[in-house]
Amino acid sequence: MSNREEINIVWLKRDLRLQDNEAIYNALQTNKRVLFLYVFENSLINDAHYSQRHWNFIKQSIQDLNQDLENYNTKILSVNSEVINVFNQLQTYFKIGTVFSHQETGLLITYNRDKDFKRYCRNNNINWKENNNNGVLRGLLNREDWFEKWDDYMGANPFKTNFKNDDFINIDEILALEKRFITTDLETEKHPYFQKGGTKMAWRYANGFFKERHKNYMYHISKPALSRESSSRLSPYIAWGNVSIRQIYQKTQEYITDENKKHLGAFISRLRWQAHFIQKFEMEHTMEEASVNKGYHKLKKNLSEAYQKAWREGQTGFPLVDASMRCLVETGYLNFRMRSMLVSFFTHILWQPWQAATHHLSQQFLDFEPGIHFPQLQMQAAETGINNIRIYNPIKNSLEHDADATFIKKWVPELANLPLAFIHEPYLMTPMDEQFNSFKLGENYPFPIVDGKTARKKASDILFGMRTNPEVLSENFRILKKHTLSDRKRMLNSN
């Protein structure tokens, strides 16, 4: 045991890239060889927030990295286990000096895992060096100067790493190690709609966006069909760390001109707000299970499995809602407005608690990011107290953003042959209309499962009524003080 070589380990999590990866950069500044490690944790694989589409994306990302690492005679050790078990095994072959990773703003299960791993490292004389992730800061008590710090981080030089073969545990050694672990099969089946993981694919999407697709970014951003082409489509690559936000931020700056600054400026704004929401979740992790505004904890809603099942399966009788859900389930992607509408419909029109939507949506979003997921669920459910109450009207959105029903026809094909007006509102058909169109409401497509107008009024009355509740108002002040002070200062300074 005394002859064990001392090595360092880069524990990869949501940072599946080689460049602008501070953990890798720091590891290679030492004079010790480095082992890249990814653990497919059984506890996360079994967690209800995840689905196979996430693990496939991660596997594709690791394959992509391994192609590049072959040039340096190494690869990522990819195993199925729990993190501490893996390190216990590795310590029988190596003396582990330092573990390098990023600070993960993840689920409560990963936060508790990290606390356990910190104790493990302390008890085993292992250094664990965690680095900042995309400008999100740990331990903040308020947002004083946060945007300024984030801007500074985005403007700093990315971590540029030069690799040499003798930096790493070599492939032969890793192959020998793999015989002592339950290794992960990295092969995945091709899917016609899911975006493929990996840094190379990320830059393919990025370059296409910067060179051409951004030209209609602001015009199409709310359109469920057109946004699929005009948006960057980088969200899964950012969520799983195939690229850093800083890399994308700086590349965007290179492309901005007077002609396109409206579109690319708006895109940069969304990069900033992405970090803002993750920072909010980092500072208030209880948002995973309960509304950030404690005044809404008293809001009671009756669970309806029938409503929830119809919503999950795209069988609510509201065509744009159903098209959006079916598209999300099939492709893993949906633009922001339609995501918001799905949550609004679930929490307002169906009057279901947002917590009952979290697992289904997180499983479907290929770009599932906890720091975005929970703050957005609560914001669209109107349970933050500080954001505007938006109760989306699915018919109004259908007519405005899918006027020719292109999106609905693709994802709800049973409506495709109806006259346009009936595609948006099939329940307006008379028996004669049904006969003329060889269509039977309730058989070919469901009746609306609720009265939309009545449901919207009920939700509006209750939610607007709660805005004056003393506990809601008190919580509003606390939330603003903790999460938005820097934002307000920024606005004042810009006036």
- The number of helix segments (H) and strand segments (E) in the chain equals 25, 5
Which residues, including other chains, have CB under 8 Å from residue 241's CB and lie 6 or more apart? Answer: 13, 14, 15, 16, 17, 21
pLDDT digits (tens, 9 = 90+) for 196-224: 999 999 999 999 999 999 999 999 999 99
Least confident of 107-111, 256-260, 369-373, 385-389: 385-389
User: How much is the pLDDT for 495?
Assistant: 35
d(CA 33, CA 6): 8
Q: How far apart are CA 353 and CA 463, in angstroms?
A: 13
CA pair distance 202, 182, nearest whole angstrom: 29
Token pair of 204 as six digits: 């393919």
What is the CATH topology of the domain spanning 199-284?
Answer: 1.25.40
State residue 484's pLDDT score: 73
Instruction: Please give the pLDDT value at position 2.
Output: 58
Q: List, in sequence order, every residue forming a beta bridge with 38; answer none if it has no partner.
A: 78
Instruction: List, by residue range, all CATH 3.40.50.620 domains of the chain.
Output: 5-178
In CATH, which superfamily holds the domain spanning 294-482?
DNA Cyclobutane Dipyrimidine Photolyase, subunit A, domain 3 (1.10.579.10)
Residue 158 is classified by DSSP as P
pLDDT, position 144: 85
Residue 441 and residue 84: Cα distance in Å, rounded?
56
Q: And the tokens for 187?
A: 């092969």
Buried b vs exposed e over 23-53: b needs ≥16 C-beta within 10 Å? bbbbbbeeebbbbbbbbbbeebeeeebbbeb
What is the per-residue pLDDT for 105? 95
Confidence label for 488 from pLDDT (cuts 50, 70 and 90): very low
Domain 5-178 listed as CATH 3.40.50.620? yes
Please answer whether residues 337 and 401 qualify as being in contact, where contact means their C-beta atoms are separated by less than 8 angstroms. Answer: yes
Q: How many angstroms separate the CA atoms of 214 and 220, rounded?
A: 10
Model confidence at 423: pLDDT above 50 = yes
Contact 472, 296 (CB under 8 A): yes
- Is the sign of the CA dihedral 485, 486, 488, 493 positive or negative? positive
Map tokens 């999300």 to a residue.
328
Is the pLDDT at 492 greater than 50? The verdict is no
- pLDDT at residue 481 in the model: 86
Nearest in space to 185 (alpha carbons), one of 12, 14, 59, 43: 59
What pLDDT score does 343 carry? 98
List every span in the chain annotated with CATH 1.10.579.10: 294-482
The pTM assigned to this predicted structure is 0.95
State the burial class of residue 141 (Cβ atoms within 10 Å of its Cβ: 0-12, 13-18, 19+).
exposed
pLDDT higher than 70, residue 485: no
CA 254 to CA 181: how far, in whole Å?
45
What is the pairing mode between strands 76-81 and 34-41?
parallel
Q: Do residues 333 and 232 make contact, with C-beta atoms less than 8 angstroms apart?
A: no
Residue 136: partners with Cβ closer than 8 Å, 6 or more residues away: 103, 105, 275, 278, 279, 282, 371
Q: What is the pLDDT of residues 137-176, one digit of tens each?
A: 998 888 888 889 999 999 999 999 999 999 999 999 999 9
The segment(s) of the chain belonging to CATH 1.25.40.80 are 199-284
> Phi first, then psi: what are they for 289, rounded to 5°?
-120, -25
The structure tokens 């699929």 sit at 228
CB neighbour list of residue 74: distance below 8 Å, 6 or more residues apart:
36, 165, 168, 169, 170, 171, 174
Q: Express each pLDDT in 374-421 by its tens digit.
A: 999 999 999 998 888 999 999 999 999 999 999 999 999 999 999 999
Cα–Cα distance measured from residue 204 to residue 196, given in angstroms and rounded to the nearest whole number: 11
d(C-alpha 283, C-alpha 234), whole Å: 25
Give the span between the Cα atoms of 347 and 351, in whole angstroms: 5
pLDDT number for residue 396 = 97
Q: What is the DSSP string of 73-111?
A: T--EEEEEE-HHHHHHHHTTTEEEEEEEEEPP---HHHH
Give residue-wise pLDDT tens across range 84-115.
Answer: 999 999 999 999 999 999 999 999 999 999 99
Report which of 334, 336, 354, 338 is spatially closest to residue 346, judged by C-alpha positions: 354
